[in-house]
Amino acid sequence: MRIGVVTFPGSCDDRDARQAVAVLGAEPVALWHGDADLAGVDAVVLPGGFSHGDYLRTGAIARFSPVMGAIRDFAGRGGPVLGVCNGFQVLCEAHLLPGALTRNAGLRFVARPQHIRVEAGSVWTAGVAPGTVLAIPIKHGEGRYVHPAPDELAAAGQVLARYCAPDGTVDDAANPNGSVANIAGVTNREGNVAGLMPHPEHAVEALLGSTDGRRILGAALASVTA
């Protein structure tokens, strides 16, 4: 399986994402933001970082990159697309995902281990039962997810994961950035496009403290090769 990882000017987790893909046994394919096609990949990851320096708003300039037109077409055909952190922001700005990401409550950058509870099934959580708690780190300054109707998102099965305590409890104490309803990730209605603020690519090897990121990144591999 070939998984494309997009690099925008200012991306900083693209190499990490490619390494994680390789660890999982797939072939990482480097995609440049100026590419007009996806080189025949089976899935796409938009990694974390600071695309175009986060000028205007996070992801606001990256949404106009040529590669985004190809990603829009790919997603429209049911192709698996995952945006991590800055990639999540880009997908929201491109209207491939609902809602938006804003400055963290307290206006401070947060970087720490974090637990999330999987809420819904999707291409990116295939084989992971709802209610499963995963340990996946976060590092962001604008990760506060906002949406005018989070209950409607949940009812539609579009809430991918919520921030939680190690025992799965969802409350304000477990919310690192003030996201509405503790939402850590969402999907489109079809479930093939997902955005996640925590970084699964930083949780694929035991040396990093957790291998739970394999459950997310590996899900797409399983869904495409099944």
Q: Is 199 one of the annotated active-site residues of the chain?
A: yes
The one-letter code for the residue type at 193 is: V
Question: Could you count the other beta carbons within 10 Å of the beta carbon of residue 132?
Answer: 16
Angle ∠(132,17,72) on CA atoms, nearest 5: 85
Q: Where are the alpha helices (DSSP H) in 146-209?
A: 150-155
The number of angstroms, rounded, from the C-alpha of 67 to the middle of its chain's C-alpha atoms is 17
Known catalytic membership, residue 92: no
Catalytic residue among 52, 119, 201, 202: 201
Q: Which of 52, 147, 199, 202 is catalytic?
A: 199
Buried b (16+ CB within 10 A) or exposed e, 194-216: bbbbbbbbbbbeeeeebbbbbbb
Per the listing, tokens 């739970």 go with 212
Catalytic annotation, pick one of 33, 85, 93, 140 = 85
**Category of 15 on φ-ψ map: left (φ > 0), alpha (ψ -120 to 50) or beta:** alpha
What residues act catalytically? 85, 199, 201
